[in-house]
């Protein structure tokens, strides 16, 4: 494939970032917005061309009937050793092509939406610059040809996420949220980095193709080395997964994502719902053949995913801030994808159920990106209208904001898994894969799906029905630039489920047809409907039932509402233990012990000279005394020696 | 009875020790200077005695004493000038008051 | 003598000194400083070009532009010069920082004397990097150290007498060890009889120093240079010294002078005494490993901007020595990259801190806030510097740290690999203290309303910071260029210690 | 065997030397101390005569007794009122000084007695004429002392200038 288009896909957002970042303060808002949108639009078109050519072009079907993996270009960027070379390249395979579509679509929609949402904000140009930076980084991440390139862009998305969360830098909450996000993900990245180091030490390569095309070679290259009881490959993979856990907000590294909602809502839609947070899933998917080799690593993925999914769903039921509800729903849904990836492997190099889980995970990633972005943008429209994040300030909005209402409803239906919306199809595949792997996980995930339907419709009814508070200004639908993305994404959410995903994205690039497993599908739809009905019963109009329930289970409500006190636990660890328990004593140690020792050398010298200084008293008679005593001593010594 | 060298040296030694005693104990600078002269003279006598008894045909000791006397004169004159100057500024010739230039 | 290009690195500063002595007013002083530092940048660029050309033509000598003039025949002391890729990199670094430093001290008081000392200091620095004679190297080293005392003591702020005294005395203490080591090397440079020599290349070629002497001299020289490189128990001059030093001095000191330590450690201690380095590295590895993590932890609780940055320097410079001690090609390349990167980045930091301090008259982060609204340009630069420091890809910190980590992790020994992981942890702690400062200082509401009337950067401040940022970004975006430049030095043929591993 | 007269002379000289030097350092009246010093110096001069160094004895009397003691007396008159007693020494410093001097005396005396006790009696010596002395002082050959002579004269000059500079009124 020619490399012009791929280069442009990366270069345009980068140029836009530099242009808007350096010259932005001299531009008008309109020009900056226009430039940003134009840049992203071009990228969108180029990405679509690239991805569609890849998916439909016959030139990418190899001799064995499989879709080829293509390294479009691969430039050496930094050569550590002969083998360990960081290259910057463009790698095209089904998942990266799919991610190109997802990222550019959502990003473009967000660019467009922000034109209305961010209108008149201070730092509008900066906002668009950061969006471009993020798009660049995210695109670079998904097309990475080697794990170190991914790490580079991984860090860059982290930084742009930091900048965007802290966009309202005058607010303390935004600043601390951005700091938290960066540090938590940085901590996870440390794991990622160590994982890379361990893996590359044994395999002597960073290259994805080399690793994934022959995973058994990777296993062999470690030579069965173990560290503290586990094989080094397990260590490496788990550590790399830690990086994914950080970015994808898996427990226990999830705490940054709810706080990240301090950023502007479109940013939440782009970064913290659709693209960046699925980087962890993407990472595992990218390394999937290697993960397949180590059953214990995939086991950990499944367990972490399952626990996170349930936890986040529970917490989402007890939140007040609608963006937080969506954030926890995102965590839960990403956990779905993780579980699905985990259950795609049997361990010891075998895929389970023809790798259904892998395909389902990617499918869910795709559909989730669309409907979750839709929900976030809808939430943005709501917040734009009522100037509050809390559902307590909303209610009965269906009358005032019909477009928002309908599109939001579509999003809710999609996430709840009601046919024919896209979420149904992808979630159904995931559940099918789970049941096939272990019935326990299947039931567990179905339960989470039911909870999902419940909390989404709880929010839906509380926002659009319930009873109407007193509005200072009559809320109304958002302007056109904000509505177009809503409508577009709603349309995609309606139809995306019918894409024959199995034809495009599978673990070994072997196309196959998706079957809907009827028992699973029917049971999950029924469960979802029951959950929706319950939500409708409780929240359609003001009634004492929710309060009663809260009173009936106060402990549970408290724990869910306070997110099971994870933040407090982290606060305790970071402030009490690390800051007060390590940093302060160390600083004290440095100033008083180490520096004290150095100073004491000076003090001792000083004291010593002070002590002998009076000998030089200026009293000449004292000198005579010293002389006399010295002479006598000398005489004595001589006498003793001679005699 | 024969006057060997020791007959001259012992009085000189006693004189020297008196000088030492005086130099150590007296506070008056002129008194200290006097003690100093005593010591100097004791040493002079030693030079002369050793010259006379051990090398009667040489004159080194004698000349050394001669020059020592000349230098002692110069030194005393200067010392006394300094003492008088100190007396002018300090109104005292007590050596214990003279420690401003220490360290 | 003047046909050798390298000698001009000493001649130009000396001419500048002469020029400064003749200056009458501030404009002339600035003109001399700027012209001179531009000439130095030009010269180092020229040397770089010549160097690359010669290497491209297949010249495989360990050092290029080698020349030697007798200075004091009875002790065989020469003024011997020569450069390899590392020295070239260091020369570029120094000239950039001298340039930026001149602009950063645009409005210093008593400018003439200040610049005289500053240029004398840089004479020492340049002389050190071009020397390959141990004695002249040591002499230039001292020439670089002594002006520091006056620069801090006279133009400094805060507890400047104490800091200046402490800095000078501790570094002098290090020099004492160093001198002992160097003289020891000299007297063992010809074990089979014959002329004793100070020349690094000759000593290395002869593989001269006796093994038992190496184990004695290696710690001497390593500690001697390590004090300047802020190695763990000997780092305490750095926070106080940096906190009191005026802006340009902090820049030069952290940016270049601390690099003298790392450079010396590798050029003298390890290059000349490879066996001892191989055997004793573990001791110093532990010390430097401690300083990497420990410096970062200490930086987390400090509230004075300069203290934070000084401790961060302890951490980053610790990484330099740490990587050098790993004794493999990649890690050592990383160490040199880290020297470049840290030099530029920390100079940028100190420049910005100086500019902020010049406006607010405080360096306490608890006394400031919301600077982003007041001085956006400086704040953005500060964020960029912070990002470089915490290792954002595209800026220099990332490439150097990654080269170090990857290189160190290639070590065959388990102990070294586990230690590398411990050192890796510093990247998280770095993020913590950088973001803490950025959050408190730049973001949030304005703390002090008096600050609202402050102005943003002036043109010379912009020029100074832009120079440094561009350099930082250049290393970050095109690391392979620097990698190749440095890499040649670490060929097993040249660098005996690589053969040992 | 010496004549009785010389024995008596020796005894007188030695005794006066010892007694007056002790008195010079113990008296509390400074003017008296100067006087006792004078007597001691005379005793020393007599000793020189006894050792056949007449010229030296003469110089001793001229320079010391005639010059230095006069200087002392003048300076004493300038710096203290006549009749003033210097303050009484504390017994501690007296004892200490006494001990110091005594130990000095002991050590040196022991050294003297153990090493110099058996020197022969006064050997014969060529009578020193003035011209001998003059040649020795003014010559530059072996055992001749022009250089120290000149040095001393320069020193005396310096001393005169120094005395003037120091003592002049500001």
Return the minimum-mean-pLDDT range out of A290-294, A479-483, A508-512, C407-411. A508-512
Name the minimum distance, in Å, from the CA of B2 to any CA of chain A. 30
Q: Where are the beta strands (DSSP E) in A159-308?
A: 226-227, 230-231
Report pLDDT for A483: 86
Report pLDDT for C466: 92
Q: How many CB pairs under 8 A join A and C?
A: 127
CA angle A264, A267, A268 (to 5 degrees): 90
Q: Is B1 on the interface with A (CB under 8 A)?
A: no
- Cα gap A74→D140, rounded to integer Å: 98
Of A357, A314, A354, A307, whose CA–CA distance to A335 is shortest?
A307
According to DSSP, residue A479 is labeled P
The answer to whether residue A45 scores a pLDDT higher than 90 is yes
- Cα gap B10→B7, rounded to integer Å: 6
In sequence order, what are the beta bridge partners of A73?
A90
Q: What pLDDT, in 10s, does the model give residues D22-36?
A: 999 888 888 889 999
Total Cβ atoms within 10 A of residue A229: 7
With bands split at pLDDT 50, 70 and 90, how would you rate the model's confidence at C501?
A: low
With bands split at pLDDT 50, 70 and 90, how would you rate the model's confidence at A133?
A: very high
Partner-chain contact C330 A579, CB within 8 Å: no
Interface partners of A (3+ CB pairs, < 8 Å)? B, C, D
> Measured between CB atoms, which of B23, B32, B102 is closest to A618?
B102
Q: 3-state class of C191 per DSSP?
A: coil
Q: 3-state class of C131 per DSSP?
A: strand
**What is chain D written as a DSSP string?**
---HHHHHHHHHHHHHHHHHHHHHHH-S-HHHHHHHHHHHHHHHHHHHHHTT-HHHHHHIIIIIIIIIHHHHHHHHHHHS-TTPPPPPPPHHHHHHHHHHHHHHHHHHHHHHHHHHTT--S----PPPPHHHHHHHHH--STT--HHHHHHHHHHHHHHHHHHHHHHS--
**What is A192-229 written as a DSSP string?**
HHHHHHHHHHHH---BHHHHHH-HHHHHHHTTT-EETT
Nearest CA in chain C to A596: C236
Partner-chain contact C392 A182, CB within 8 Å: no
Report pLDDT for C126: 93
**B-chain residues near D22 (CB < 8 A):** 14, 18
- Cα gap C288→C285, rounded to integer Å: 5
Of A416, A262, A148, A191, whose CA–CA distance to C399 is shortest?
A148
Report pLDDT for B80: 87
Total Cβ atoms within 10 A of residue C214: 24
In sequence order, what are the beta bridge partners of C202?
none
With bands split at pLDDT 50, 70 and 90, how would you rate the model's confidence at C500?
A: low
**What is A102-150 written as a DSSP string?**
HHHHHHHHHHHHHHHHTTT-TTHHHHHHHHHHHHHHHHHHHT-SBHHHH
Name the minimum distance, in Å, from the CA of A618 to any CA of chain B. 5
Q: How many CB pairs under 8 A join A and B?
A: 28
The answer to whether residue A13 scores a pLDDT higher than 80 is yes
**C-chain residues near A79 (CB < 8 A):** 480, 483
The answer to whether residue A513 scores a pLDDT higher than 80 is no
Nearest CA in chain B to D15: B11
Report pLDDT for D82: 61
- Give the dihedral of Cα atoms C235, C237, C242, C246; nearest 10 deg: -150
- Give the dihedral of Cα atoms A101, A106, A111, A116; nearest 10 deg: 150
Identify the CATH assignment for D1-88 out of 1.20.120.1200, 3.40.50.300, 3.30.390.10, 3.20.20.70. 1.20.120.1200
Q: Is A622 on the interface with D (CB under 8 A)?
A: no
Nearest CA in chain A to B19: A624
- Cα distances from C337 to residues A96, C90, C400, C424, in angstroms, run 33, 10, 5, 17
Q: What pLDDT, in 10s, does the model give residues A307-318?
A: 999 999 988 888
SS3 labels along C83-124: ECHHHHHHHHHHHHHHHHHHHHCCCCCCHHHHHHHHHHHHHH
Q: Is B86 on the interface with A (CB under 8 A)?
A: no
With bands split at pLDDT 50, 70 and 90, how would you rate the model's confidence at D140?
A: confident
Q: What pLDDT, in 10s, does the model give residues C404-438?
A: 999 898 888 888 888 898 889 889 999 999 999 99
Of C200, C18, C35, whose CA–CA distance to C116 is shortest?
C18
Ramachandran category for residue B68: left, alpha or beta (phi over 0 → left; psi -120 to 50 → alpha):
alpha
Q: What pLDDT, in 10s, does the model give residues A244-284?
A: 999 988 888 888 888 888 888 888 888 888 888 889 999 99
Mean pLDDT of A387-391: 82
**Using CB atoms within 10 A of its CB, is residue A532 exposed (0-12), middle (13-18) or buried (19+)?**
buried
Total Cβ atoms within 10 A of residue A60: 20
The answer to whether residue A113 scores a pLDDT higher than 80 is yes
Partner-chain contact D107 A625, CB within 8 Å: no
Of C484, C402, C458, whose CA–CA distance to C56 is shortest?
C484
Partner-chain contact C405 A587, CB within 8 Å: no
Q: Is C393 on the interface with A (CB under 8 A)?
A: yes
Q: Spell out the domain ranges in chain C.
A: 5-58+75-498
CA angle C60, C61, C67 (to 5 degrees): 145
Partner-chain contact B99 A624, CB within 8 Å: no
Which H or E run includes C68?
strand C64-72
Put simply, the chain D residues between 33 and 72 with a CB less than 8 A from any chain B CB are 33-34, 37, 40-41, 44, 47-48, 50-53, 56, 59-60, 63-64, 67-68, 71-72
Partner-chain contact A594 C236, CB within 8 Å: yes
Of B78, A618, B37, whose CA–CA distance to D25 is shortest?
B37
**B-chain residues near D167 (CB < 8 A):** 81, 84-85
Q: Is B98 on the interface with A (CB under 8 A)?
A: yes
Q: What pLDDT, in 10s, does the model give residues A454-499?
A: 888 888 888 888 777 777 777 777 788 888 888 998 998 888 888 8
In sequence order, what are the beta bridge partners of A390?
A321
Question: D60-69 burial, b for 16+ CB within 10 Å, e for fewer?
Answer: bbebbbeebb
According to DSSP, residue C456 is labeled -
With bands split at pLDDT 50, 70 and 90, how would you rate the model's confidence at B78?
A: confident
- Cα gap B61→B56, rounded to integer Å: 10
With bands split at pLDDT 50, 70 and 90, how would you rate the model's confidence at B35?
A: very high
> Measured between CB atoms, which of B18, B41, B84 is closest to D167?
B84
Q: Is D95 on the interface with B (CB under 8 A)?
A: no
**Using CB atoms within 10 A of its CB, is residue A635 exposed (0-12), middle (13-18) or buried (19+)?**
middle
**A-chain residues near D100 (CB < 8 A):** 625, 628
Name the minimum distance, in Å, from the CA of C395 to any CA of chain A. 11
Q: Spell out the domain ranges in chain D.
A: 1-88, 89-122, 127-170
The answer to whether residue D42 scores a pLDDT higher than 80 is yes
- Cα gap C255→C345, rounded to integer Å: 8
With bands split at pLDDT 50, 70 and 90, how would you rate the model's confidence at D79?
A: confident
The answer to whether residue B77 scores a pLDDT higher than 90 is no
According to DSSP, residue B60 is labeled H
Report pLDDT for D169: 66
The answer to whether residue A44 scores a pLDDT higher than 90 is yes
Please provide residue D38's backbone torsions phi and psi, each rounded to the nearest 5 degrees.
-55, -45
Q: Is A555 on the interface with B (CB under 8 A)?
A: no
- Cα gap C80→C10, rounded to integer Å: 13
Partner-chain contact A616 B24, CB within 8 Å: no
Report the mean per-residue pLDDT for chain A.
86
With bands split at pLDDT 50, 70 and 90, how would you rate the model's confidence at A620?
A: confident
Give C417 or A550, the one with higher predicted confidence: C417
Name the minimum distance, in Å, from the CA of D117 to any CA of chain A. 18
Report pLDDT for D14: 92
**Using CB atoms within 10 A of its CB, is residue C421 exposed (0-12), middle (13-18) or buried (19+)?**
middle
**A-chain residues near D107 (CB < 8 A):** 632, 635
Partner-chain contact D59 B66, CB within 8 Å: yes
CA angle A500, A502, A503 (to 5 degrees): 75
The answer to whether residue A238 scores a pLDDT higher than 60 is yes
ipTM for the predicted complex? 0.78
- Give the dihedral of Cα atoms C107, C109, C113, C116; nearest 10 deg: -20
Nearest CA in chain A to C373: A170
**What is A379-421 written as a DSSP string?**
HHHHHHHHS-SBGGG---TTTT-HHHHHHHHHHHHHHHT-TTS
Report pLDDT for C140: 93
**D-chain residues near B66 (CB < 8 A):** 56, 59
Cβ atoms A404, A397 nearer than 8 A: yes
Q: What pLDDT, in 10s, does the model give residues A554-597?
A: 888 788 788 888 888 888 888 888 888 888 888 888 888 888 88
Name the minimum distance, in Å, from the CA of A632 to any CA of chain B. 13
With bands split at pLDDT 50, 70 and 90, how would you rate the model's confidence at C136?
A: very high
Beta-strand relationship, C64-72 and A350-351: unpaired
Interface partners of C (3+ CB pairs, < 8 Å)? A
Mean pLDDT of A380-393: 84
Tokens 């420049």 sit on residue: C351
**C-chain residues near A583 (CB < 8 A):** 297-298, 300-301
Report the mean per-residue pLDDT for chain C.
88
Q: What pLDDT, in 10s, does the model give residues C288-322?
A: 988 898 889 988 888 888 899 999 999 999 999 99
Best-predicted range by mean pLDDT among A132-141, C224-233, C486-495? A132-141
Please provide residue B94's backbone torsions phi and psi, each rounded to the nearest 5 degrees.
-75, 125
In chain B, the domains with their CATH numbers are: 8-91 (1.10.287.3510)
Mean pLDDT of D133-150: 86
Of C228, C216, C146, C141, whose CA–CA distance to C181 is shortest?
C216
Cβ atoms C377, C457 nearer than 8 A: yes
Tokens 């860090």 sit on residue: A155
**CB neighbours of A377 closer than 8 A, spacing ≥ 6?**
A109, A110, A113, A265, A266, A269, A482, A485, A486, A489
Cβ atoms B9, B46 nearer than 8 A: yes
Question: D123-155 burial, b for 16+ CB within 10 Å, e for fewer?
Answer: eeeeebeeeebeebbeeeeeebbeebbeebeeb
Percent of chain C at pLDDT > 90 equals 29
- Cα distances from A364 to residues A442, B31, C231, C491, in angstroms, run 16, 112, 52, 51
Q: Is D5 on the interface with B (CB under 8 A)?
A: no
End-to-end CA distance of chain C: 40
**D-chain residues near A628 (CB < 8 A):** 100, 104
Give A57 or A352, the one with higher predicted confidence: A57
Query: Is there contact between B and C if contact means ≥3 C-beta pairs under 8 Å?
Result: no
Report pLDDT for A43: 92
Of A458, A322, A335, whose CA–CA distance to A379 is shortest?
A322
């Amino acid at each position: 494939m020619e490399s012009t288009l791929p280069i442009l896909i990366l270069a345009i957002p980068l140029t836009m970032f530099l242009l808007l970042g350096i010259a932005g303060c001299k531009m008008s808002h309109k020009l900056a917005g226009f430039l940003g949108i134009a840049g992203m639009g071009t990228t969108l078109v180029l990405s679509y061309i690239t991805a569609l050519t890849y998916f439909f072009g016959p030139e990418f079907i190899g001799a064995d009937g499989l879709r080829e993996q293509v390294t479009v270009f691969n430039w050496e960027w930094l050569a550590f050793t002969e083998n360990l070379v960081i290259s910057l390249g463009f790698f095209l395979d089904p998942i990266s092509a799919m991610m190109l579509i997802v990222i550019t679509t959502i990003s473009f929609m967000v660019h467009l939406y922000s034109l209305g949402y961010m209108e008149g904000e201070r730092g509008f140009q900066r906002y668009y610059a950061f969006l471009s930076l993020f798009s660049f980084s995210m695109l670079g991440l998904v097309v990475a040809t080697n794990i170190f390139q991914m790490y580079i862009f991984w860090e860059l998305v982290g930084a742009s996420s930091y900048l965007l969360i802290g966009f309202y830098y005058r607010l303390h909450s935004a600043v601390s949220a951005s700091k938290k996000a960066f540090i938590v993900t940085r901590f996870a990245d440390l794991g990622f980095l160590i994982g890379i180091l361990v893996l590359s030490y044994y395999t002597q390569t960073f290259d994805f193709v080399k690793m994934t095309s022959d995973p058994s070679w990777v296993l062999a290259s470690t030579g069965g080395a173990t560290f503290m009881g586990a094989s080094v490959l397990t260590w490496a993979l788990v550590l790399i997964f830690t990086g994914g856990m950080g970015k994808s907000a898996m427990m226990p590294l999830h705490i940054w994502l709810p706080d990240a909602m301090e950023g502007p809502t479109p940013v939440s839609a782009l970064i913290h719902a659709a693209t960046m947070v699925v980087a962890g899933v993407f990472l595992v998917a990218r390394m999937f053949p290697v993960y397949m080799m180590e059953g214990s690593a995939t086991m950990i993925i499944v367990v972490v995913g399952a626990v996170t999914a349930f936890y986040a769903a529970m917490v989402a039921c007890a939140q007040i801030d609608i963006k937080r509800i969506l954030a926890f729903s995102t965590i839960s849904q990403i956990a779905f994808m993780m579980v699905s990836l985990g259950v795609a492997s049997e361990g010891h190099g075998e895929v389970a159920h023809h790798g259904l889980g892998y395909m389902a995970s990617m499918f869910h990633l795709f559909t989730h990106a669309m409907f979750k972005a839709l929900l976030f943008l809808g939430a943005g429209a709501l917040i734009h209208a009522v100037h509050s994040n809390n559902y307590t300030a909303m209610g009965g909005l269906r009358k005032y904001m019909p477009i928002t209402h309908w599109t939001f409803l579509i999003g809710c239906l999609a996430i709840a898994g009601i046919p024919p919306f896209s979420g149904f199809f992808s979630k159904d595949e995931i559940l099918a894969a789970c049941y096939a792997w272990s019935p326990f996980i299947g039931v567990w995930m179905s339960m989470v799906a039911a909870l999902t339907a419940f909390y989404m419709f709880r929010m839906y009814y509380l926002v659009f029905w319930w009873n109407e508070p007193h509005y200072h200004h009559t809320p109304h639908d958002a302007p056109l630039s904000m509505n177009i993305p809503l409508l577009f994404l709603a349309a995609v959410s309606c139809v995306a489920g019918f894409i024959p995903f199995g034809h495009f994205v599978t673990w070994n690039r072997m196309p196959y047809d998706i079957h809907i497993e009827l028992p699973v599908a029917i049971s999950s739809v029924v469960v979802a409907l029951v959950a929706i009905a319950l939500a409708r019963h409780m929240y359609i109009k003001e009634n004492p039932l929710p309060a009663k329930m809260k009173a009936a289970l106060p402990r549970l409500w408290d724990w869910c509402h306070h997110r099971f006190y994870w933040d407090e636990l982290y606060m305790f660890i970071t402030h009490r233990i690390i800051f007060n328990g390590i940093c302060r004593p160390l600083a004290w140690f440095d100033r008083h012990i180490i520096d004290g020792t150095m100073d004491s050398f000076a003090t001792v010298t000083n004291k010593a000279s002070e002590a002998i200084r009076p000998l030089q008293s200026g009293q000449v008679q004292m000198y005579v005394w010293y002389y006399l005593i010295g002479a006598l001593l000398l005489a004595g010594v001589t006498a003793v020696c001679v005699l | 009875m024969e006057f060997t060298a020791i007959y001259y040296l012992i009085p000189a030694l006693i004189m020297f020790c008196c000088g030492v005693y005086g130099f150590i104990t007296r506070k008056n600078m002129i008194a200290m200077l006097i003690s100093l002269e005593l010591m100097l003279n004791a040493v002079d006598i030693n030079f002369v005695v050793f010259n006379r008894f051990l090398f009667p045909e040489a004159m080194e000791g004698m000349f050394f004493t001669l020059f020592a006397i000349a230098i002692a004169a110069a030194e005393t004159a200067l010392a006394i000038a300094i003492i008088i100057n100190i007396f002018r500024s300090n109104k005292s010739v007590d050596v214990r008051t003279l420690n401003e230039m220490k360290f | 003598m003047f046909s050798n290009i390298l000698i001009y690195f000493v001649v130009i500063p000396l001419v500048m000194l002469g020029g400064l002595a003749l200056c009458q007013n501030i404009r002339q002083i600035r003109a001399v400083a700027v012209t001179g530092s531009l000439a130095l940048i030009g010269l180092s660029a020229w040397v770089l070009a010549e160097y690359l050309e010669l290497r491209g033509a297949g010249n495989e000598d360990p050092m290029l532009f080698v020349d030697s003039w007798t200075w004091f025949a009875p002790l065989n002391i020469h003024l011997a010069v020569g450069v390899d890729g590392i020295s070239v990199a260091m020369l570029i670094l120094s000239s950039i920082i001298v340039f930026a430093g001149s602009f950063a001290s645009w409005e210093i008081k008593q400018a003439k004397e200040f610049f005289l000392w500053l240029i004398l200091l840089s004479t020492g620095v340049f002389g050190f990097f071009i020397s390959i004679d141990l004695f002249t190297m040591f002499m230039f080293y001292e020439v670089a150290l002594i002006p520091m005392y006056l620069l801090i003591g006279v133009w400094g702020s805060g507890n400047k007498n104490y800091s200046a005294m402490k800095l000078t005395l501790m570094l002098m203490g290090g020099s004492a060890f160093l001198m002992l080591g160097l003289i020891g090397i000299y007297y063992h440079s010809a074990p089979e009889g014959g002329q004793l020599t100070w020349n690094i290349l000759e000593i290395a070629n002869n593989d001269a120093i006796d093994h038992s002497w190496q184990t004695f001299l290696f710690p001497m020289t390593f500690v001697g240079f390590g004090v300047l490189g802020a190695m763990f128990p000997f780092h305490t001059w750095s926070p106080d010294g940096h906190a009191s030093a005026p802006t340009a001095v902090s820049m030069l000191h952290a940016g270049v002078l601390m690099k003298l330590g790392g450079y010396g450690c590798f050029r003298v201690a390890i290059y000349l005494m490879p066996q001892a380095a191989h055997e004793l590295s573990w001791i110093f590895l532990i010390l430097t490993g401690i300083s990497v993590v420990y410096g970062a932890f200490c930086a987390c609780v400090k509230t004075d901007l300069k203290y934070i940055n000084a401790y961060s320097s302890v951490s980053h410079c610790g990484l330099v020595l740490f990587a050098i001690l790993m004794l493999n090609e990649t890690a050592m390349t990383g160490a040199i990259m880290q020297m470049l990167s840290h030099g530029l980045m920390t100079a940028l930091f100190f420049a910005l801190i100086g500019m902020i301090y010049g406006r607010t008259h405080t360096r306490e982060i608890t006394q400031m806030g919301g600077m982003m609204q007041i001085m956006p340009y400086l704040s953005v630069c500060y964020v960029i510097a912070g990002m470089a420091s915490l290792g954002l890809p595209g800026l220099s910190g990332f490439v150097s740290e990654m080269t170090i980590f990857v290189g160190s992790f290639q070590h065959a020994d388990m102990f070294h690999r586990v230690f590398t992981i411990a050192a890796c942890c510093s990247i998280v702690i770095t993020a913590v203290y950088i973001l803490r400062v950025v959050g408190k200082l730049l973001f949030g509401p304005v703390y002090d309303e008096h600050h609202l009337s402050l102005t943003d950067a002036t043109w010379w401040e912009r020029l100074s910071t832009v120079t440094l940022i561009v350099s930082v970004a250049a290393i970050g975006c095109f690391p392979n260029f620097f990698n190749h430049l440095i890499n040649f030095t670490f060929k097993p043929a040249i660098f005996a210690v690589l053969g040992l591993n | 065997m010496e004549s009785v007269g010389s024995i008596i002379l020796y005894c007188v000289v030695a005794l006066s030397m010892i007694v007056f030097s002790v008195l010079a350092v113990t008296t509390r009246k400074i003017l008296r101390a100067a006087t006792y010093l004078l007597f001691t110096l005379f005793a020393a001069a007599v000793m020189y005569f006894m050792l056949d160094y007449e010229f030296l004895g003469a110089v001793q009397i001229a320079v010391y007794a005639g010059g230095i003691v006069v200087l002392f007396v003048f300076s004493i008159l300038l710096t203290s009122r006549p009749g003033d007693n210097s303050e009484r020494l504390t017994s501690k410093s007296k004892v200490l000084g006494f001990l110091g001097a005594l130990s000095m005396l002991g050590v040196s005396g022991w050294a003297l007695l153990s090493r110099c006790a058996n020197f022969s009696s006064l050997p014969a010596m060529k009578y020193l004429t003035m011209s001998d002395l003059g040649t020795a002082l003014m010559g530059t050959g072996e055992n001749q002392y022009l250089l120290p002579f000149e040095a001393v004269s320069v020193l005396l000059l310096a001393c005169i200038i120094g005395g003037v500079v120091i003592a002049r009124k500001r």
